[in-house]
Amino acid sequence: MKYQRGEVGRIFVVRFEDGDDVIGGLVSLAEKENIRAGSFQLVGGMKRGRFVVGPEREELPPVPVWRTLVESHEILGFGTIFCQGTVPKVHLHGAYGKGDSVRVGCLREASEAFLVLEAVVMEIAGVTAVRELDPASGMVLLKL
């Protein structure tokens, strides 16, 4: 285990409206406000998204298993923002529910808010954590 100590910097309250790109909006906020490190919580609705529910097998590099949201779902999510070079990268895991069906996974593509989706973004000050390409996994991972 590796870790760094930081402090809470600025806090942003965000309202995504119907049709807004959630991942793109978080990246845009991080670019505009120069957020180099942060975490966020999401609550509200999504109507589109592609997310990964795990690898096919426990081997490197992992082959992702994809699922797609094609209609409105409730979402509860948590994620982080760290930069790869100068570009903010979002890592978001969420629970997506409709009726009695709940799915959990890593949202990666085609994220679209339904009606309203709220986010609270907390900047982390005083850390040098970044995202870098990990050759073994082929993924962009957190590096301390």
Measured between alpha carbons, how far is 25 from 30 in angstroms, rounded to an integer? 9
pLDDT above 90: residue 65:
yes
Residue type, 91: H
CATH code of the domain covering residue 103: 3.30.1330.80
1 lies in some domain? no
Measured between alpha carbons, how far is 144 from 4 in angstroms, rounded to an integer? 7
How many domains, the chain?
Answer: 1
pLDDT above 90: residue 71:
yes
> For the segment 10-21, what is each residue's pLDDT rounded down to a tens digit?
999 999 999 999
Burial (Cβ within 10 Å: 0-12, 13-18, ≥19) of residue 6: middle
Q: How confident is the model at residue 110 (pLDDT cuts 50, 70, 90)?
A: confident
pTM: predicted TM-score of the whole model, two decimal places = 0.95
- Predicted confidence at residue 4, as pLDDT, reads 97
Q: Percent of the chain having pLDDT more than 70?
A: 100
- CB of 82 closer than 8 Å to CB of 90: no
130 lies in some domain? yes
Measured between alpha carbons, how far is 82 from 42 in angstroms, rounded to an integer? 17
2 lies in some domain? no
- CB of 142 closer than 8 Å to CB of 134: no
Q: How confident is the model at residue 49 (pLDDT cuts 50, 70, 90)?
A: very high
61 lies in some domain? yes
Residue type, 46: M
What average pLDDT score do residues 41-56 get? 97
* E strands present in the chain: 7-17, 37-55, 64-69, 73-84, 87-98, 101-125, 130-134, 139-143
What average pLDDT score do residues 72-91 get? 98
Determine the structural domain holding residue 81 and report its residue range. 7-143
29 lies in some domain? yes
- CB of 49 closer than 8 Å to CB of 110: yes
- CB of 67 closer than 8 Å to CB of 50: yes
- Predicted confidence at residue 112, as pLDDT, reads 97
- CB of 76 closer than 8 Å to CB of 15: no
Task: Give me the chain's average pLDDT, please.
Answer: 97
56 lies in some domain? yes
- Predicted confidence at residue 87, as pLDDT, reads 97
pLDDT above 90: residue 83:
yes
